Chain A
Amino acid sequence: MRWATRAGVHIDRAACAWLIRRFLDPEAEFVFVADPADVPADATPFDMRGVELGHVGGDCSFETILRRHELTDPVLWRVAEAVHEADLDDGRFDAPEAPGLDVLLRGLSMTGTDEHTLAVSGPLFDALYEYHRRRLLLGREPA
Chain B
Amino acid sequence: MGATGEWVLLSYRLPREPSGPRTTLWRRLRRLGVAQLADGLVALPADARTRESLEWLADDVLAAGGTAGLWVARPATTAQERELAAGMAAARAAEYRALAEECAAAVAAGPAERSRALRRLRTEHRAIGRRDFFPPAEREDAARALRALGGTAAAEEVAR
Contacts and interface: CB of A to CB of B under 8 A. Distances in A.
The B interface, classified by DSSP as helix, strand, loop or mixed, is: helix
Given A8-B48, A90-B31, A49 B59 contact: yes
Interface string B40-64: 0000000011001001101110000
A90 B30 CA distance: 12
Contacts, number: 19
Nearest to B130: A89
A49 B127 contact: no
Nearest to B31: A90
Interface in B55-113: 55-56, 58-60
Interface residues of B, number: 13
A107 interface: no
A91 B58 CA distance: 22
A50 B130 contact: no
Interface in A76-101: 89-91, 99
Nearest to B27: A90
A125 to B, nearest CB: 20
18 contacts: A6-B52, A8-B48, A10-B49, A49-B55, A49-B56, A49-B58, A49-B59, A50-B59, A54-B56, A54-B59, A55-B56, A55-B59, A55-B60, A89-B126, A89-B127, A89-B130, A90-B31, A99-B126
- The 9 A-B pairs at the shortest CB distance, nearest first, are namely A55-B56, A8-B48, A49-B55, A49-B59, A50-B59, A55-B59, A99-B126, A89-B127, A54-B59
